[in-house]
Amino acid sequence: MPISHRLLAVSVAVMWGLNFIAIHASLGQFPPFLLAALRFAVIAIPTILLVPRPKVPVRWLLGYGIGFGTLQFLFLYWGMAVGMPTGLASLVLQSSAPFTVLLGAVVFRDRVSARQVVGLSVATLGLAVVGWSQAQAAAFAPFLLVLAGGFGWAIGNVSSARAKAPNPLHLTLWMSVVPPIPMLALSLVIEGPDAIAQSFVPGPALVPALLGLAYTVLIGTLAGSGIWTWLMARHPAGVVAPFSMLVPVVGLSASAVLLGEQIGMWTAVGAALVIAGVLWGARRKNVRRARGAVPRPAEHRAAVLTP
């Protein structure tokens, strides 16, 4: 992987890490379910008009949209709205990696290597430490909500992998067609028409909220996912995917600098265990190719649309 491509991968991690700051700004004005509906509606409308629907089984498209788009962002935005620190949200959402391994093994009988088991165990221990530290800070319920968001992401991961889309970016864009209606319905029922109307009333938080929404859609989703998909199409998934672990590093650092969030000792220990466990589980042993052998394409190069 040339240095220019590595720099692109790092730039995507920075875009996605700062995405959590943008979400924090948007939640200052919009209620969480409405915000999720707006985020995906902005992408879904031009997608329906301009992007061909991917030729994949409908069940996997719906599974991707329900898991990744609806459940992940329902619980992530809800958790952040009720008190989950922004930086920690970027970390806990990485629970999607061990959840994905577990879902693949239990539901689809995917083979799990010893390396993945070790990585899964270490990451789970790290999440337990973070959860314990949040319980001490009376923020355990928001932690559980974001953890549920990671499980939703895992459902999306296994669905997108089995869709085997010829153009993963098209699949990612069409996934955005699924969440707007259920999220808007939830917003109307739970948050209410008055809260929805009030969120559009001009005020000091409206401009930062709209800028945050624009960043999430244009930079975090379209630019970040576009570059990531381009990289995944040119390199083995095991080479590109570990760069995503820079996302919580950026998220935690940016939240500390821009929002003044403090990271306790036990939270830092748990964060290190999560990152180490996910990275270890994602590594593959280097196998020297025989001379003249034709490299096999990487499997399941699904596009990633991050928060």
158-180 confidence digits (pLDDT tens): 898 888 888 888 998 999 999 99
Given a cut of 60, whether residue 221 has pLDDT beyond it is: yes
**Of residues 235, 304, 285, the one with CA closest to residue 6:** 235
DSSP one-letter string for 16-28: HHHHHHHHHHHHT
Residues 6+ away with beta carbon under 8 Å from 184: 33, 34, 37, 41
Choice between 34 and 302, residue whose per-residue pLDDT is larger: 34
Q: Determine the Cα–Cα distance for residues 76 and 72; give it in Å rounded to an integer.
A: 6
Mean pLDDT of all residues in the chain? 85
Q: What DSSP state is assigned to residue 85?
A: -
Task: Determine the pLDDT at residue 108.
Answer: 81
Q: Determine the Cα–Cα distance for residues 105 and 265; give it in Å rounded to an integer.
A: 34
Given a cut of 90, whether residue 66 has pLDDT beyond it is: yes
239-271 confidence digits (pLDDT tens): 777 788 788 888 888 999 999 988 888 888 888
What is the token pair recorded at 291?
């001379």
Average pLDDT over residues 215-222: 92
Q: Where are the domains of the chain?
A: 17-282
Average pLDDT over residues 24-28: 96
Distance of CA 299 to the CA centre of its chain: 20
Identify whether the C-beta of residue 15 lies closer than 8 Å to the C-beta of residue 219: yes
Confidence of residue 306 (pLDDT cuts 50, 70, 90): low
Distance of CA 255 to the CA centre of its chain: 17
Choice between 61 and 137, residue whose per-residue pLDDT is larger: 61
Choice between 127 and 254, residue whose per-residue pLDDT is larger: 254
Given a cut of 50, whether residue 296 has pLDDT beyond it is: no
Using DSSP, state whether 52 is helix, strand or coil.
coil
Given a cut of 60, whether residue 77 has pLDDT beyond it is: yes
DSSP one-letter string for 148-186: HHHHHHHHHHHHHHHH--SSHHHHHHHHTTSSHHHHHHH
